[in-house]
Structures are given as structure tokens and as C-alpha cells.
Structure 1
Amino acid sequence: MNVQISSAPLVQAPAGVQPPASPRSLADTGINTVILRDLLLKTMFRTNLDLVSAVARAICLPVPLTQELIDLARSQRLVEATGTLHANSGNEMGFQLTDAGKSRALDALSQSEYYGPCPVPLGQYAEQIRRQSIRNIKLTRDQLLAGMGHLILPPDLIGNLGPAVTSGRSILMYGPPGNGKSSISHGIRAAIGDKIYVPRAIEYSGQIISVYDPIVHAAAEAAVDDPNSLRRTSNRFDNRYVYCERPSVITGGELSLDMLDLAYNPTSRTYQAPLQLKATGGIFIIDDLGRQAEPPQKIVNRWIVPLEESRDILALQSGEKFTVPFDTLVIFSTNFHPNEIFDGAALRRIFFKIKIDGPDQANFLKIFAMVARKKKMPLDEKTLMHLLKVKFPTIDNLYANYMPTFLIDQMIAMCEFEGIPYQMTPDLIDRAWGNMFVRQEAIAH
């Protein structure tokens, strides 16, 4: 398993969410000394690092604690000094594994290939989650509107979304397809906007579970001490965490229930956190509910305990089960009516149900004009009247948010193919409209 090893020095704790304090002793880490020593040996074996400062960055512990671990390993004849001072590294003494140290590292790697960042014990992680809970978020109407960007929404929608988001509870958004449910979900994520601390890995019962995932977690920039400054700040956070934007995990039709369990790699004998654990402190969006291989009722049933009790139950490869905090805003999005895919018990567990309808004609025209301006397509009144009076009556005047972009992109493609300036005409609208729908007809086989 390739474990990402941070090369960044310890960073200054930014303002906002209370940061996890940097451990001042090996006991403060909450991790068994044998596990720490073996992690040191495995990291030195896999990375060939020989300086205390470099090893400290790799295992994400302060230099004094790393030196203490090296001294412990030296006393057990697992590490030895090389007798070489590195002039380019402040005359640091180099260290290397002895033959016994290499043997112990290989034995430890045979049990788990995990090396690199020291994990955070589950209990300490739970305390940090309470300090940065998603339920502590209090959004204003202006913040939520700003997160929605350029979306044109019904006037009452923000009033319904606001309490749902600030509660940190589950939300079900439903309605006809193509009306921005996914965009609204992303807007909620953008509106929250603050940052939290995500552990690189957590430890339970001697097992290490990787949590930080660069695909899910966007690391934020943080201030670093000026090495030329005589006065160094001591206000540092625990480097076993990464300071990140609140995470968001987005899944769709590919979601299966096994993605919500610990992922165990039998070859490397390592664990990877499930999606909802990676989303802790942030948002988990289940898009296109009803399109998964698993029935929607079964998917919601999997969330009953987490949604009601703010805790989730995971299982190790041995079968041992344990509880982890569940602190995630879950957003379900579906094109189906809720009564078609859920029973009453499941619907009771979802705290907010918000219907997302298509726009009325006035808002449709606003969206159309906005998209046309963005794509540099000149508006034509005759073509718009043709669209409203001739084409939309054929579908009972059901407007959808996706239609302006679809129709304008179609006309742009046609203009570019014909080598003519961007323009909209009734003929181009008719051709674009024909690509938006499939005519119902029998196909001979």
C-alpha cells in the first residue's frame, strides 16, 4: 500500500475550529509504544530516511518524540547511528536500521503494510469531531444564496433549505429530472465553506485505518513558521491531522452497500475508511437515488442507525464490530416520488423532504437569457416566441432547468458546423428540440 507521506513541516494552527493539540509526549499520542516503534521501523525501512527531522515529517510526530522513539529502538539494538553528520541538515546525526531492526520491520510489514503517518486513536478522533461538528454550522440566508452562485431558484426554496442545512440532519430532495437537484447539493457544500481537521489515519484495537484521501479532502494552505525568525510560535496543531475544507463525497448510480463498509486489502493487510467516514464533518450526497443496483429502501435502511443515533457501526476483518462517530449531512437526491421508493418508516428517518420543481415560464426565460449571454449566443425574440408558443405546448408547458443549456449548446454546435455566426432561429430551435427528446415509435428488429 502506498501511504502518502507528508513532507510539510508542522504548521501554525489557523483560527476557526479548535485545533487538535500537538502531542507533547508519546503517551499523549494515545498509541501503544510498540505500535509507534514498529511504525518508525517500517517507515525507515520503506523510505530509507535516516535523519530524525525527515522521519518526524514522515510519521507526522514532533521531532522530540521521534527522537525518543529512535532512542528506544537504539536501546533495543534495532537502530544505530551511522556516525555521519549531515552538514546540509544542521549537522544532524544519521541513523539506520540494524539487521535486527530490518528483521523486525519485515515482520511488522508482514502483519500490516501500513507505514508513514502516525494514527490518531479513535477516542481522540471522536473528541475532535465534537469540536468541529457539522451541526455547529449556522448559515445565514446570504451565505446560502452565495453558495448557490448563479442558480435561479424559487423564492421559497432557500427558506426551506436553510433550516435543513443548519440542522446538520438528513435531507431528501426530489422532483422531476434536470431541475438542479445536483447543483443545489453542490451549492450547499460551497455555502458551508469553513475548514476542519481530518486525521491521516485512525487506530482501533491495534488496527490502523487510513482516512485522509486527497481525492475527497482538499488540503488548505496554512501558515508556516519563518525559519529565519528568532521567535518561533508554539501554537501548532497535531500534524497527524490535515487542515482541510469540509469534505464532500458525491456518489450516484455506482453506489453499493459494500462501499459503506471498511475496505480491507488482504494483500497489504490494511484498512481504508468507508465513504461516510471520509465525509465526517462534511456532506455525503447520494445522487440519482433509485438508479443503484441496491433498492433505495435497502440503502436508506443502512443509514437508520447513523441518522438516528449519530454513530455508525463498522466491522474489522476478524468480525469484531466497533462504533465510530457519525457527523455528516446526508443529502439524498432522486427523480422518483418518495412514496414510490420508500415506506413510511424510512421517510420518518429522513428529517427534511424538499421538492425541487421546474421553473415557471418567467424563471425559464431568465435562465435562458443568462445562459445565452454566458455562451455569447444573441437572443432572438421571434425564436423565443416560437419556442414558447409552438414547442412547449407539445409537452404541456413543463419547463426544466437543464433545457436552456441543452438547446443553446445544440444551436452552437450547428452554427459551428455550418460555419455561420452564432444565431438562434426557429429552424435551429426545431432541430435542437428534436435532439432533446426521443419520439415514441416502434423499432423493427
Structure 2
Amino acid sequence: MNMQPQSVMAPPLPRYLEDMQLPVVMMRDILLKTIFRKSVSTVSEIARAICLPASVTQELIDMTREQKLLEATGTLNANSGNEMGYQLTDAGKSRALDALSQSEYYGPMPVPLTVYREQVERQSIRNIQITRDQLINAMGHLILPDDLLDNLGPAVSSGRSILMYGPPGNGKSSISNGIRDAMGDKIYVPFAIEYSGQVITVYDPIVHTAAMVQEDNPNQLRRSSNRFDSRYVKCERPTVITGGELSLDMLDLVYNPNAKTYQAPLQLKSTGGIFIVDDLGRQQEPPQALVNRWIVPLEESKDILALQSGEKFEVPFDTLVIFSTNFHPNEIFDQAALRRIFYKIKIDGPNQENFLKIFALVARKKGMPLDEKALVHLLKVKYPTIKNIYANYQPVFLIDQMISICEFEGLPYQMSPELIDRAWANMFVKDEHIVK
């Protein structure tokens, strides 16, 4: 049985240079490039810059000194606890420049892809068991049909793909965000990973929200228990939201020809979290083509990426994919694609009772007093003209319109049949022929 862990197991600290499982030349060159670019000189400064423990950093420095690429300055740095300083030799500077011409990457030492896979397993999205209370707490501000949580809960807890469909304006995006908020734990995201000698940057401050981590005082003998491999950033589970701008090439590795480095695609950045494809059917790519790109990842929990050389390799695919569309699934997918999307959940508009609850909630929040005559006019006169089809966005739209009118006319906030009519006129465009 899947149980929600109290906390994700942190990536263990490497104790020795051999624990790194990285090419020695790559580590040496990143060390040299970092010292050259960041002008760091003491072991503690260098260790912070390359995100390794001081003991492992010292091993790397000693190895580089033996190659005559680094030398001790012979002076103690009073500002750094009387640590010995180090600097690049002429050969070291030459090697650093040569290494920078091959790849501009410097700073945090990358995590080998094989090691990263192990951490992905420890913090898998499929290890989460969302309870009804968690979903209710995360979506308490939404008024939803009673059976919606019955369908959402098992879908989210499975960590499998979800298709939400239904008419626009009924909160599919808000529900997606609520699912994200229900996942309260933290995971560890690497600054970069390494495959076949290539560095792929993963951590992205736009996608990843770093959690507060208490740092150890180096002068204390007893270290806190929250120490972990600092090549990772402790983060909230990530959420990547794409809409009409999504294209197939955004799901490939991004190569920077000037820096000669790679950036992880969106789905790799969302590992351990949620990838929301909003407004499916509005992209330039046909929906069928987008879903075909996800077939292997969705079925096998792995994705296939390619380097500039054409070499292909597997990366973990550990993401809850949520497709959201205003189209009926049969209009945009064939049956083979629909089989591969594990859960299909229709998000309908509210019934009249829930519409009134939403209307009253929004009015109270915005300081708009309710008026029975105006509400009767809305329900008995206006909604029959659109076959009594209610949508979640409509209360906010109508009340905001009436507020704008009141502010323009210099009136206290109020609603009336006349104001309802004026607000309603802006919610729909009259179907008519315009002579050009």
C-alpha cells in the first residue's frame, strides 16, 4: 500500500572523491573554471562554489596541485579562519581557458544521471498518497461538485496522467493548482546532471521554489540532521504550466551553442511534481501529436532525449501530467491515445444551487451587497436566454462589471436588475453580421 512519507529521504553527502562517480578530468576542469570565474581561493570558498563537502574539495585540490595546475599562495587568509589560499598556476589558467572554450559550465558539480535516478526513486510522485482532507484543504476556496473529489483523489494518488475536459471557465486551471497545493512535502532538485561527459542544468528558479534550509554553523561540533548533498536544492514539488505556447521542441534538450551547455526540457524540470498542459487544442501542434510525444514517458516512466551528437539516452519520467481542454476528448484524440491517459475527468459548470453559493461567496469577498430582486432577474430573465448554462467564471465577471459601473457612476456598491443587464451585455458578444 502506498503511504505518504513523513519526509523525502535526502541525497547522501559524498564522502570521498571516488563517491562522485564523475569523470576525474571533468571534476578537475569544473574546479579550475570555477576558481577562474569566481575568484575563490580557500577550501571553504571553493567547496561552497562547487557544492561539495570540504573534505572532497580538498582531495580534488590536492590532485590538481599534483598536476601543477594549482598552487598554495603560502599565506593564511585571516578573513576565512586562517585557511590556506590557493591560486591557479599559469598552466592552470591556460587549462581553465581551454576548458571554458569547450563548455562555459562552472559552479555546482553535476550529479551523474545514474545517481540522480536513485534520488528520483526516493522522492517519486508515485510515493504520495493524497487524502480527501488534503484535497479539501487545498481546494477549500472552490465550490466543486460532490463527486469531483471522489474522482480526483485516486487519480492524483496514482501519479498517473489525468485529462480534465469540459466547457471553459469552470475552474480546470484552479483545480490543477489545487492538486499542486495538496502536495505539501519537499523534494531535492539537482543544479545539474551529467551524462556522457555533458552537463545538463536542471534547477531553474522560475520553475523551482527553494525551501528554507537551516545552515550548519561550521564552528559547532554537533551538526544538524538536515545536512544533504548540496549539489541539490531542497524545493517545493515543482509545477510547470504550459498553454497555447507549448510546442514539441520545448520537450527536447535545449543546447546553447555559445556556452556549449544543455538545459533540461520542461518535463525533466517538473520531475517529482506536476506538468500541466492547459488549453490543449489551442497549440500550433495538433493535440494528437503532443500526446504521441508522451506515449513512452506515460507508459514506461522514462523519457528519451538526444544530445547534439544525435546520441539518445533515457532519463526518469516521474511527473503527474494533467491535460486540460475545452474540447471533447473524442474530437482531438484517437482511442489509442485516450487509452494511454489513465484518468478522464469531466469538469462541468455548476448547477443553480452551487452557482448561487459561488455568487454569494464572491459578492461577500468583494464587498458587494446581495439584492434579491437583482438575483431573481438574473436567474429568471437572463439565464434562460443561454439555456440556463452556468459557469464558475460568471459570478466574478458579473460582480466585477457591476463594481466598475458603480465606481464610474460614483455610486455605493449595489446590484439591481438594470446593473445586471449592463454587466450581462459585456459577458457575451451579440451574434450579428458586421458590414465591412
TM-score by length of 1: 0.95
Superposition deviation, residue 233 in structure 1: 3.9
Gaps of 5+ in 1: 1-13
What's the counterpart of residue 118 of structure 1?
Answer: 109
Question: In structure 2, what is the Cα distance between the partners aligned to 1:179 and 1:235?
Answer: 42
Identify which of 366, 373, 378 aligns with 1:375. 366
2:13 counterpart SS class: coil
Residues 361, 147 of structure 1: CA spacing in aligned structure 2 closer, same or farther, 3 A cutoff?
same
Q: Does 1:100 align with 2:84?
A: no
| C-alpha RMSD over aligned residues | 1.2
Q: Displacement of 1:427 after TM fit?
A: 1.2
User: What does residue 233 of structure 2 align with?
Assistant: 242
The 5 A counterparts of 1:31-430 are 31-227=22-218, 229-233=220-224, 236-430=227-421
In structure 2, give the amino acid aligned to 1:346. A
**Worse overlay, 224-233 or 378-387:** 224-233
Query: Shift of the alpha carbon at 1:429?
Result: 1.1
C-alpha deviation, 1:235, in angstroms: 5.8
How far apart are the structure 2 equivalents of 1:419 and 1:84? 75
2:427 is aligned to 436
Q: 1:246 to 1:406 in 2, by over 3 A?
A: same
Query: How far apart are 1:87 and its partner, in Å?
Result: 1.0
State the partner residue of 1:5.
none
What is residue 11 of structure 1 aligned with on the other side? Answer: none
Deviation at 1:227, TM superposition (A): 4.5
Q: What is the deviation of 1:149? A: 2.8
Q: In structure 2, what is the Cα distance between the partners aligned to 1:145 and 1:307?
A: 27
Q: Which amino acid aligns with 1:98?
A: T
Q: CA deviation at 1:160?
A: 0.3
TM-score (norm: length of structure 2): 0.97
Aligned mates of 2:218, 2:416 — CA distance in 1: 65
What is the deviation of 1:66? 1.0
Q: Could you tell me how far 1:50 is from its partner in structure 2?
A: 1.2
- What corresponds to 1:3 in structure 2? none
Q: Which runs of 4+ in 1 moved over 3 A?
A: 226-230
SS in 1 for 2:146: coil
Q: Distance in 1 between matches of 2:426 and 2:76?
A: 72
- Identity over aligned residues, as a percent? 77
Distance 2:184 2:227 in 1: 22
What amino acid is the match of 1:326? F
Moved more, 263-272 or 223-232: 223-232
The change in CA–CA distance for 1:347 and 1:234 in structure 2 (over 3 A counts) is closer
**What displacement does 1:20 show?**
0.8
Kindly tell me the number of residue pairs found equivalent between the two proteins: 432
Residues in 1 aligned to 2:67 and 2:254: alpha-carbon distance in whole angstroms:
35
